[in-house]
Amino acid sequence: MKSTAATKQTLIRKLEELHQIPTIPAVLAPLLRYLQQPVEQLNVHKVTDMIAQDKSLAVQCLQMANSPLFGRWQKVESLRGAVVSLGFQRVSDIAMSCGVLNMMPREGGMDPVAFWEHSLGCALVCRHFARKISFGDPGKAYLAGLLHDLGIIVNLWVLPKEFQAAFELAKAEAIPLHEAEERVLGFTHCESGKLLAERWDLSPELADVVALHHSPQAAGDHSGIVALVALSDLLCRMSGLNYGFFEARQVNLLEETGFAVLSRYCPSLGTFDWARLTFELDSYMDEVHSLVRAIYRT
Ligand SMILES: [Fe+2]
Ligand SMILES: [Fe+2]
């Protein structure tokens, strides 16, 4: 295998050459740009029309809209119906989820179903956690959780063999993926995700989540949301919403850097009921598994 420094150079060169990640749904980039505007400027018809341009995306969105995870109370048959019954924010979350997760190569080192489950699970945990501790906008927290591991998709596209070796090492030694990437590639999905975040012109807040979710202490202005994602990611990795393997270590959330950082924003975190959050997470894990498996078959 090449030296890690050479691998990093290769990544940067390949990313620079890559004008568009091959399977990115055409609708995703404009949709993402559109959804980053203030919510009062968004037009429901415009968003549903954008999603409807991609037939398979529209079908997946409807499947998700009909899951209890998104608060469905009656069966929805159309995207417009989904907007009416679930609200604009939820439908946007759903469209983004399918759009981004469809970029995951179907073949490669990591099981795409596990990646979907981890990303979607992390998005849901972030939203739930943000609500519980009254932290910022739960919709933003969802998007941050969904996108946090964007760099894994980049690594799978541009350096599939090298990434596979890193993934195998993480699995064999039961260590965090970013530590294995550092050893094999000389960089992590945080760095490659940052390059894509810049390419996509993501908001500085989202770009920081993508780049710093494994080192929340390094985040400046956006350290609150970065820490929220870091803790949610950890909760998922320690549960059945991991990347397909368990890391061999005992985690005490109260000793995590993310906890100290988030406590600065939410002083009540010291008395937060973690056992209850873990219990609630367990209750929707099965829903995440069955939803992702159903979507993945379409
Ligand atoms: Fe990560
Ligand atoms: Fe993650």
Does the pLDDT of residue 116 top 90, yes or no?
Answer: no
3-state secondary structure of 72: coil
On whether both 41 and 119 belong to a single domain, the answer is: no
Residues with a beta carbon under 5 angstroms from ion ligand 2: 149, 233
Q: Which residues surround ligand 1, an ion (CB under 5 A)?
A: 149
CA of 120 to the centre of ligand 1 (A): 13
The answer, yes or no, to whether residue 84 has pLDDT greater than 80, is no
Choice among 33-47, 142-156, 204-218 with the minimum mean pLDDT:
33-47
Q: Among 87, 102, 117, identify where a domain stops.
A: 102
Tell me how far the alpha carbon of residue 10 lies from the centroid of ligand 1, in angstroms: 21
Q: Using a cut of 0.75, tell me whether the model's pTM lies above it.
A: yes
Q: Do residues 56 and 200 share a domain?
A: no
Average pLDDT over residues 268-283: 86
CA nearest to 223, candidates 199, 257, 180, 188: 257
Question: Into how many domains does the chain fold?
Answer: 2
Residue 43 CA to ligand 2 centre (angstroms): 32
Give pLDDT tens digits for 4-30. Answer: 777 777 777 777 666 555 445 667 777
End residue of a domain, out of 102, 120, 149? 102
Q: How many CB atoms neighbour CB 274 within 10 A?
A: 13
pLDDT at position 23: 46
Residues 193 and 162 both lie in one domain: yes
Average per-residue pLDDT for the chain:
84
CATH number at residue 207: 1.10.3210.10
Residues 13 and 126 in one domain: yes
pLDDT category, 33, cuts 50, 70, 90? confident
pLDDT at res. 290: 84
CA distance 196 to 231: 23
Same domain, 157 and 66: no
CA 60 / ligand 1 centre spacing (Å): 25
Domain co-membership, 144 together with 284: yes
Could you tell me which residues come within 8 angstroms of residue 213 by beta carbon, excluding any fewer than 6 positions away?
Answer: 148, 190, 226, 229, 230, 233
pLDDT over threshold 50, residue 136:
yes
Confidence (pLDDT) at 22: 44
Of residues 46 and 133, the one with the higher pLDDT is: 133
pLDDT band at 90 (very low <50, low <70, confident <90, very high): confident
Give me the domain span that covers residue 46.
25-102
**pLDDT above 90: percentage of residues in the chain:** 30
SS3 79: helix
In sequence order, which ranges of the chain are alpha helices (DSSP H)?
4-17, 28-35, 44-52, 55-65, 79-86, 88-101, 112-132, 138-147, 150-158, 160-173, 177-184, 189-199, 204-212, 223-237, 257-265, 274-297
Instruction: For residue 211, give the ligand nearest its CA.
Output: 1
